[in-house]
Structure 1
């Protein structure tokens, strides 16, 4: 523990990312928590930005905000059922505001949590109120487990004292942030509407759409295809490799060790330990998408057709990603035309 500062900072961040995800997975599956893959998924999202873990006061504040948001999601389920147009408009406004928090205020993790809460909970509520309550509990417990994992791991791989204070992201300018928030809303809403029509069949794409919206809000139209499509396809390859490794010796310990290995693999590329042509957001999307594919597959292994369900989810993810790419291209083209007309006038 005293020798940790001798380790280079990128290496510490790499070990921390993998260890936090592995500890969160061990706690979630070891205690048989509901929807346990939420814990390592949230751990990856919240640990990706290099910074010290939340203190108790900050955690309580985040839990209050997320609880309120999830509660609003519960309330919106009856509204979507009886007043669908009003409910959809409120969800769209909520996605816009939550995205603006990420791109305009530099609160990426909070933005992702709010977007998931505002879209997944109403969809679950359309199936049954008890299902929505279960998802709310799973998200809150998963968030708490992710923070606890950060508290346990961070003392072993801390940030530099100066770097920890200077790690706050720089927000974008106001007009650009509003445009990116609007673009993200257009990316997220159609897949969410599809899930609202048939929640039991398309629930998984809500999480993917929310993550795509966050990633798509930060890439240019030129790079959107390479980053969005490339990261989704690569996530399928990693998910298959993860599953193959897990089938060699199916146990909780091997599950945790594979998570540690893959988490460190993604961290090496996110923090510059290994050279990569892709930005950190690309590898974060690969890791989160891999977990969205692996988590339900583990649940299906108790009695369902794992491979058929895996292929169906992956095909849906690719289709949603293609839509997100097309939406970015069209919106940026319309924006460029408007700028040209304004300049000509």
Structure 2
């Protein structure tokens, strides 16, 4: 009986932990006036949605080393990108391939995701302005630390039951399959990265979206690509619109937290199977990440006095464009593989 109760309560605990942790990260990021406030909640979503246990000390040290490696490699590539652009872009592509392959071969997927985000965001920012690159470095480091601390706090407040099963080990892949999927994911990220190099400050959200798509493409089949990738992007946009107009009823940091808590619970119920759905957990994870990126940028546009609705429309159009491209790459690779 106790085991059955734990089984029934487990998805609810995980959904609650995800919602509270994401809402807390979002509110703290804006309260602390972080330069890229969506970084912390996005990484909190990945930490809380994909891990059932808090990060151990060893994993925390590994993440700290990855931060140093990512920031250092991204900054070191800036001169190469400025003076030997083709060689620099080719090297970035190779490093993205290696990062995705590391995650697919049993490595820490969070480390792989952070490595991809850091390489693309920092190197793109550095081609325009070294100070902007340093700002991005600080934003990534602070965002990651905040996400890790909030994740640990949430696991303390809403712990897993002692009887809960450990996460199963990822399914082993052949070397050929790993290389194939990693190459596909790297090609999904590259166009958004090249676009961001023309205006790093304006297109930074596009890089974050493409990193999310690259991660999702590793687990999505060509048959379900349109439903999972395009559908989750559209749903994320609709959730961001609903959130924005809900927030306008009463503009306050506490309401920002409470609305994020509500939306996080709604998506978390689907993601953790508390409410049955035909869509995969990756669909709901990408929807939540898309909503956070779009919403965070709209809030920043509003603070800066920009036309929020025009900026949202342009950004949503770009999100859909990179998503359609990601679907095209999945279909193209599947056809080439079938022919081969």
Aligned positions, number: 335
C-alpha separation between the residues in 1 aligned to 2:83 and 2:7? 61
Q: Counterpart of 1:104? A: 105
Q: 1:163 to 1:177 in 2, by over 3 A?
A: farther
Unaligned runs of 5+ in 1: 339-345
2:338 paired residue number: 336
Q: Quick one: structure 1 residues 268 and 104, their matched pair in 2 at CA, closer, same or farther if it must change by over 3 Å? A: same
Per-residue Cα deviation, 1:85-132 (whole angstroms, up to 9, x for no partner): 111111111111111122221522221111111111111111210101
For residues 10-21 of structure 1, the aligned pairs below 5 Å read 10-21=11-22
Kindly indicate whether the alpha-carbon contact (under 8 Å) linking 2:6 and 2:164 is maintained by their aligned counterparts in 1: no
Q: Is the 8 A contact 2:66 2:111 kept in 1?
A: no
Trace 1:259-274 onto structure 2 (pairs within 5 A): 259-274=260-275
Aligned positions of 1:25-64 closer than 5 A: 25-64=26-65
Which one of the candidate residues 308, 311, 314 is aligned to 2:310?
308
Q: Does 1:255 align with 2:256?
A: yes
CA–CA distance in structure 2, aligned partners of residues 196 and 335 of structure 1: 31
Once the two structures are superposed, what CA deviation does each residue of 1:177-200 show, in whole Å capped at 9, x if it has no partner?
A: 111001111211122112223334
Answer yes or no: is the 8 Å Cα contact 1:125–1:132 preserved in 2: yes
What's the Cα RMSD here? 1.7
Stretch of structure 1 that moved more, 141-150 or 28-37: 28-37
Cα displacement (A) at 1:7:
7.0
TM-score (norm 2): 0.94
TM-score (norm 1): 0.93
In structure 2, runs of 5+ residues without a counterpart are: none
Match in the other structure for 1:173: 174
Please, which moves more after superposition, 71-80 or 158-167?
158-167
Moved segments of 4+, more than 4 Å: 4-7
* 3-state SS of paired residue (1:248): coil
SS of 1:321 mapped into structure 2: helix
C-alpha displacement at 1:287, in angstroms?
Answer: 0.5
Alignment partners' CA distance in 1, 2:52 and 2:174: 23
CA separation of 1:24 and 1:168: change in aligned 2, threshold 3 A: farther
Q: Which residue of 1 aligns with 2:327?
A: 325
Is 2:276 the partner of 1:275? yes
